[in-house]
Amino acid sequence: MPGARRGYVWVPGYWNWNGRRHVWQQGVWVKERRGYMYNQPAWEERNGHWELRRGGWARGDADRDGVPNGADRRPNDPHRR
């Protein structure tokens, strides 16, 4: 993995299925989105079959308090009530 870049998130490489075979997708830096988390691409087994869960941005709620990180004054406090 290359050195960190301020304001960016590293998305690691993964094996992608192109309809005929698996091909390597190189890792890339993507611009950070305030209040969002990037979910990495991952292969998951479901009912005996492997499926690729595509990566993408989702509203972040690190402490799971129901307040998105972008609007939360203490976004990483799991004990906040």
Q: Domain map of the chain by residue range?
A: 8-71
- Token pair, residue 15, equals 């094996």
Give the C-alpha separation, 55 to 31, whole Å.
14
Query: CA-to-CA distance for 9 and 44, rounded, in angstroms?
Result: 22
**Segment 2-37, tens digit of pLDDT:** 677 788 988 889 999 899 999 999 999 999 887 788
CA dihedral (27, 33, 34, 38) positive or negative: negative
Strand partners, 9: 30
The residue written with tokens 């960190």 in the block is 4
- Rounded to the nearest integer, the mean pLDDT of the chain is 81
pLDDT of residue 58: 81
